[in-house]
Structure 1
Amino acid sequence: MGRFGKLETDVHIKASASKFHEILHKRTHRISNVSTDKVHGVDLLEGEWGEVGSIICWRYFHDGKARVTKERIEAVDKQNNSITFTVIEGDLTEKYKSFKFNIQCIPKEKGSVIHWVLEYEKLHDEIPDSHSMLQFCVEMSKDIDAHLMEGSEEPYHNDISGQKCEALSINKSKKRHVWHCLIFLGLNQNTMGRFGKLETDVHIRASASKLHEIYHERTHHISNVSTDKVHGVDLLEGKWGEVGSIICWRYFQDGKARIAKEKIEAVDKENNLITFTVIEGDLMEKYKSFKFKMQFIPKEKGSVIHWVLEYEKLHDDIPDSHTMLQLCVDVAKDIDAHLMEGSEEP
C-alpha cells in the first residue's frame, strides 16, 4: 500500500488550447526560453520533435537541484490536444519504478484548461507523493501561458539541441496503493489561483460504515487514536453528529499547534458522507472559506475515503493546502490502524 500514485491538476490559463498543445507537442525544445528558471533545456535524442516514439531529454531545476530526465513520447492525440511522456531514465528513476506525464489542453469559452496527470510507482512506501513535481508542472504552464499572452506567435528560438542525458539504472520493487489528488485552480481571470480544490482517495482496510461512524458521531474520540496530530475535538454547540452543530478541532500542523472551529454542514448516512465548514480558527488567517468533505466508499476489500478540500484563499500568494491534505490522510490511516486492531471504538 502506498507504492502507486496518481496526481491530477487542472490549471486555468488565458491562452488557447491549440497554442499550448503546440508548445508541448512540437516545440518542446523552446520551453527553456520561456520558463528559464525551471527548464534549462529540452533536447531531441532520437526521432523527430512531436513524433510518437521519439526520445527527448529535459534539463530542469526541481527541489533545489539541477536534474535530468530522459522521456519517450508515448502517445499524441492532436484532435483532443493530448500528449503523454513516459520517463525512461534520469533523476526520477532514483525514486520511481515508473513515471508518466499525461497532458490534455481543453478549450474553454475564455482561455483553456491544462489537465495534468502524473502517474507513478514508487520504489518503496517511504517515498512521498510527487506534489512538488505537480507544482513544477503548474508553474511551468503559467510561464508558457504568460508568454503566449504577450502576443508572440512562438517562444524565442533555442539553438541548443541534441545534448545527451546520462542513463541511470532503474531499480525494481512491488506493492500497491493509489492516491488521487486533483487541484482546481482559478474560476475566472480576475480570481485565478484564489479558489482551490484538492481531492484524495485513500485506500484502507476498515469498513466504510465504521469509518463514517467515527467522523460522524464519535469525532471526539479521534484524539485518542491519532494523538500526535489531533490533540482534542470538543463539542461547542448542538449534539455530536447533528447538522448545524459546532465543534472545535485542536490539532498539530506544519510544526505548530492550531485550532479550527467547524460547523457540521451536511450528513448523508446512506452514502456515508459528511461535510465540515470552517467558521473560525487558524485557517481563517489564510482562507476566506474552507470546507472538508468526506465520503466513505465500500469496496470488496476494505474501503476508500474520498477527501475533498474546497477553499478560497485571501490572496494569490497563499499556496494550495497540500499539508492539510496530507494531515487528513495521515489521521485517516491512524484511525484505520486502530479499527483493524479489533477494538470496537477509540
Structure 2
Amino acid sequence: MASPILAGKLEAEIKIKSDPDEFFHSFGDKPHHISDMSPSLVQGVELHDGDWGSVGAMQVWKYTHGKNLDLISSLFPLMRKSSWHSFKVIEGDVMELYSKTFIATVHVVVRPGARYPRKEVKKFKTIPGKAHESEGFGLFGKISEEMSLTGKQVFQIEIKSSGDVFHELFKNKPHEMSSISPDIVHGCELHHGDWGTVGSIIFWTYTHDGQKKVAKEIIESIDKEKKSVTFKVIKGDLLKLYKSFTFIVQVENHGQNNLVTWTLQYEKLNQSVPDPTTIVDLATKLTKDIETHHLK
C-alpha cells in the first residue's frame, strides 16, 4: 500500500497587459491596496509587524475562497533580486489542510511582447486525508486583471516506486496503464510508428470528470537522460476546449524516493475556458495508481 504523498508544488502562468512593475509592487509594497482592486476575493490586508515591502514583515490577509477566511503570512527572501515575492503562511485557515508548510510565490517576468506574472509557485505539505492537490490553486491568479489564453501548470509528486520503471511505462508501455489504473485509463492503442519512438501516434480512451473521453497524441520528444516524455494532443475531447495541449512527464531519481514532474502547456479557445485543474487531479491520481501498483 503506497504511503500518502504529503509534499507538492503547483505552478501556473498568467499573461497580463498592465504594467509589470506596478503588479510587482502591488504584492510587495502595497498589498493593502489589493482589496480595492479585487474586493470579491480580498477584503483586507493588515500589517502586524515590520514595514510594507520588507523581508520578515507579517501581514494578515482576509479573503474569500468558498467562504470567508484569513491567514497570517510572513514575507521572506527567495531570489528577491529577480522580481520574486514569496509569502510563507504561518497561521490561518490554510494551515488546517497544510499542516507543515505553505508558501506562495509571485514572480513577474517581462518577455518581448508579453508580461507574465507567475502565480502561486506553491510549495506545501498536507494533512493526510484532508487536503486536495489543487485546493486553493488560483487565488492569487484570479487577482490579476486579465488572464491569458495560454497557460502552463507544473506540479510535482513524490513516489517511492522506481523512477526508471515509471519512465519506462510512459515511454514504452503506455498500453499497460489500463490494467494499472482501470478507473482512469480504459485503453491505449498504437496508431502509427512503434512504441517508445518519437513521432509515434497513440490513441487513449479514458474517464475525466465522470465522462468517457478520447485523445490522440503524438510523442514529440523523449529525453533518456532526463527521463522525460512529451505528448502533444492532436485530436480528441481536450481540443474542444483548448487550441493546443501538451503533457510533459519527467522523473528524477532521488534514492528511495523519486520525483515525478508533470508540465501542462495549453492554449484556451476562449476566455471562458477554465484552467485544467481537473486534469491536474487526473494526472495526480494516475501517478498514485502507478506507484501503488509498483509497490505491491
Q: TM-score, normalised by structure 1?
A: 0.74
**Pair 1:90-2:92 in alignment:** yes
What is the root-mean-square deviation in Å for CA atoms of aligned residues?
2.6
Q: What do the CA deviations read for 1:57-116 (whole angstroms, capped 9, x no partner)? A: 211111x21111122333498754443333232211222223223333344445643234
CA distance in 2 between counterparts of 1:323 and 1:253 reads: 8
Q: How does 1:1-346 map to 2 (within 5 A)?
A: 1-62=4-65, 64-75=66-77, 80-97=82-99, 98-110=101-113, 112-116=115-119, 117-124=121-128, 126-129=130-133, 131-142=134-145, 193-341=148-296
Q: CA deviation at 1:216?
A: 2.5
Change (3 A) 1:233 1:135: same
Identical residues among aligned pairs (%)? 34
Q: CA deviation at 1:135?
A: 0.7
* Unpaired stretches in structure 2, ≥5 consecutive residues: none
Letter in 2 for 1:43: E
Change (3 A) 1:100 1:300: same
Contact residue 69 and residue 87 of structure 1 kept, 8 A: yes
Q: CA deviation at 1:138?
A: 0.6
Contact residue 83 and residue 103 of structure 1 kept, 8 A: yes
Letter in 1 for 2:122: L
CA distance in 1 between counterparts of 2:164 and 2:55 reads: 47
CA distance in 1 between counterparts of 2:42 and 2:138 reads: 14
Q: TM-score, normalised by structure 2?
A: 0.86
Max radius of gyration: which structure? 1
* Unpaired stretches in structure 1, ≥5 consecutive residues: 147-191, 342-346
Q: Which runs of 4+ in 1 moved over 6 A?
A: none
Question: What count of residue pairs does the alignment treat as equivalent?
Answer: 291
State the SS of the aligned residue for 1:96: coil
State the SS of the aligned residue for 2:136: helix
